[in-house]
Amino acid sequence: MQNDDAEEADSGFKWSMTAFCTHLEELGVDCSLMWAKIYDVIIKSLLCIEQQTKAQLRRSNVHRSNCYELLGYDILLDSNLT
């Protein structure tokens, strides 16, 4: 069931991020810490590919401002949110 009502952000199959975080906070989860850990994973993964990305840009003779990469992340959390 899709949620078409903005007033009911926590119903249906797809919750808004705000509703999700509110729900987690009601369960006692520190959402700021959770997001900090998620950002840490993303930043570290981007740092791991920085040199290879720069090398590929040099080989293809493309200026960095003329291209972009669109990266998606699937972050899985266990019951301890770790």
- Each domain of the chain, given as residue ranges in start order, spans 30-82
Identify the pLDDT of residue 48: 92
pLDDT above 90 (res 66): no
The pair of three-digit structure tokens given for residue 7, joined into one six-digit string: 């007033």
Interval 8-22: pLDDT, tens: 666 666 777 888 888
The CA distance from 10 to 20, in Å, is: 7
* Closest-CA residue to 81 (of 40, 14, 17, 35): 35
Per-residue pLDDT tens for 26-61? 989 999 999 999 999 999 998 998 888 888 878 887
Average pLDDT, integer, range 59-82: 76
- For the packed helices 31-60 and 17-26, what is the interaxial angle rounded to 10 degrees? 140
- 59 vs 25: which has the higher pLDDT: 25
